[in-house]
Homo-oligomer: A and B are copies of this chain.
Amino acid sequence: MTWTLAARTRKMTSSAIRDLLKLTERPGIISFAGGLPSPDAFPVEAFAVACDKVLTAADARGSLQYATTEGLPALREMVAASLPWRVDPANVLITTGSQQGLDLAAKVLIDPGSNILVETPTYLGALQAFQPMEPTVVGVASDESGVIVDDFEAKAPGARFLYALPNFQNPTGRTMDEARRAAVAEAAVRAQVPVLEDNPYGELWFDAPPPAPLASRHPENTLYMGSFSKVLAPGLRLGFLVAPADIHYRLTMAKQAADLHSPSFNQRVVAEVLKDGFLDRHVPTIRSLYQGKRDAMLAALSREMDGLGVTWNRPAGGMFLWARLPVGLSATALLPRAVEKGVAFVPGEPFYAGQADDRTLRLSFVTATSAQIDAGIAALAAAVRESLDRLSTAERDAAMAPA
């Protein structure tokens, strides 16, 4: 072997999610593991019409040519206009999925050893995107409303940024409430710590829209990231970010070096789909679909987990639900048993920057059908029951005691 690897590759290993997705590709497995939007919500017909329009337009060839790194002007304008605060299209950068926004932010803001702050738990894909720049990742204590302000303030001095996903968070499904947003945004400005606000799921609310983004309060202190993956389709790999002018310029330089620009064809197709308020008609159908699936999973959990000591939350939107096994059980240990019974999920462990709560697990409720949700949760309950049965009497008593 003549290849010398960069030191950073020691931390660039396969994610648990990645290995799991392979497991769950086995035929017959009901998967609550992936973060895959429901394909039922993909507007195939609208894409077909838009592709045809783009490729028969007078300047069709332009859709297949190199383009500017910043993105299609029309799409940047649509993004700016869609956000609930005053955004200049010049501050918008179209990215190759919002995952790329994380990669670019890492390049521009992280030196080896820089402290960066994340929620507890946090999005695994963000940890993976930050890791190559070799930060010290510090988890901020969090509750059902996101990061706890006192702990954030204590850990803020010298941190390069706080990474937060305030709406229907991946992995927990939780939402940062209005008071917490106001407090976090103010604390961030006081501490001079920018916020990386990741908002891929914000449009997928069920009962009421979530509070306004942190970015709307202090745009000069926020790098805001959004995505077309959840409201249109992830297979196009288009997202966007909004950043203050100097940061936008640096991110654009980093993007130019990374992939020159995001596919111009895809940008034109999405701009074509979006015009005339398509999302205003389309997104409510996704909300309704996902709300039904969430309700199906909540009902199945209530029915199947009765008496097993498992707890879970009730997400107000998004794709994920967060559950916790009773004392004495480990979600990581539960997984192979669950897969044997035909159901998969993601253990919570890889989502923690520091000490993990290995009793936690993430359940995606949007990809499976309602019938699969019923059968999958029943299988999961059977796996939990089997795990409990293997505990000693004393352990089982502890597991069943009220939290």
Fill in one digit per residue for A1-29: 1 if any B CB lies within 8 Å of its CB, else 0: 11111111100111100100000000000
A246 at the interface (CB under 8 A from B): yes
Complex formed: what's the CA distance from A233 to B263 in Å? Answer: 10
Given contacts A237-B259, A250-B5, A39 and B66 within 8 Å (CB-CB): no
Stretch at the interface among A104-112, A143-151, A321-329, A337-345: A104-112
- Is the CB–CB distance between B107 and A6 below 8 Å? yes
What chain B residues lie within 8 Å of A254 (beta carbons)? 9, 12, 132
Answer whether A236 and B64 are a contact pair too, CB < 8 Å, given A55-B44, A107-B132, A128-B257. yes
- What CA separation (Å) do A260 and B112 show in the bound complex? 23
Convert A61-81 into 0s and 1s, putting 1 for each residue whose CB lies closer than 8 angstroms to a CB of B: 111111101000000000000
Residue of B with least CB distance to A56:
B48
Tally A residues with Cβ within 8 Å of B. 84
Q: Which of B2, B48, B160 contacts A192 (CB 8 A)?
A: B2
Q: Decide: A44 and B18 in contact? CB cutoff 8 A.
A: no
CB neighbors of B among A240-299 (8 A): 244, 246-247, 250, 253-254, 256-266
Chain B residues, CB < 8 A from A108: 5-6, 9, 12
Q: Contacts of A387 on B, CB cut-off 8 Å?
A: none
Question: Contact at A64–B233, with CB atoms within 8 Å?
Answer: yes
A36 partner, pick from B12, B18, B65, B229, beta carbons under 8 A: B65
B66–A34 CB distance below 8 A: yes
* Cross-chain contact B52 with A64 (CB below 8 angstroms): no
Docked CA distance A110–B260 (Å): 20
Q: Nearest Cβ in chain B — how far from A196, in angstroms? A: 11
Residues in B with CB closer than 8 Å to A5 are 108-109, 250
CB distance from A397 to the nearest CB of B (A): 43
Nearest chain B residue, comparing its CB with the CB of A262? B237
For A368, list chain B residues within 8 Å (CB).
none
Structural contact, A39 and B51, CB atoms closer than 8 A: no
CB-defined contacts of A256 to chain B, threshold 8 Å = 15, 18, 128
Contacts known (A1-B246, A250-B12, A257-B128); A64 close to B235, Cβ less than 8 A:
yes
Residues of B contacting A259 in the complex (Cβ-Cβ under 8 angstroms): 96-97, 99-100, 103, 237, 259
CB contacts (< 8 Å) of A56 on chain B: these are 48
Q: Does A221 contact B (CB under 8 A)?
A: yes
Given contacts A12-B250, A13-B253, A235-B263, whether A44 and B65 have CB atoms under 8 Å apart is no
Chain B contacts for A132, CB-based, 8 A: 107, 254, 257
Residues of B with C-beta under 8 A to A234: 64-66
Q: From A64, A100, A110, name the one whose CB has the most chain B CB atoms within 10 angstroms.
A: A64
- A66: which B residues are within 8 A, CB to CB? 34-36, 229, 234-235
Residues of B within 8 A of A211 (CB): none
User: A237 contacts which of B34, B62, B194, B263 (Cβ < 8 Å)?
Assistant: B263
- Interface residue? A333 (CB, 8 A): no
Query: Which residues of B lie under 8 Å from residue A103 when comparing CB positions?
Result: 257-259
A398 within 8 Å of B by Cβ?
Answer: no
- Asked whether A42 is an interface residue with its Cβ less than 8 Å from the other chain, the reply is yes
Selected A-B contacts with CB under 8 Å, 6 pairs:
A6-B107, A7-B111, A96-B259, A97-B260, A132-B254, A237-B259
Q: Which A residues are closer than 8 A to B by beta carbons?
A: 1-9, 12-15, 18, 34-37, 39-40, 42, 44, 47-48, 51-52, 55-56, 60-67, 69, 96-97, 99-100, 103, 107-112, 114, 125, 128-129, 131-133, 160, 189, 192-194, 221, 229, 233-237, 244, 246-247, 250, 253-254, 256-266
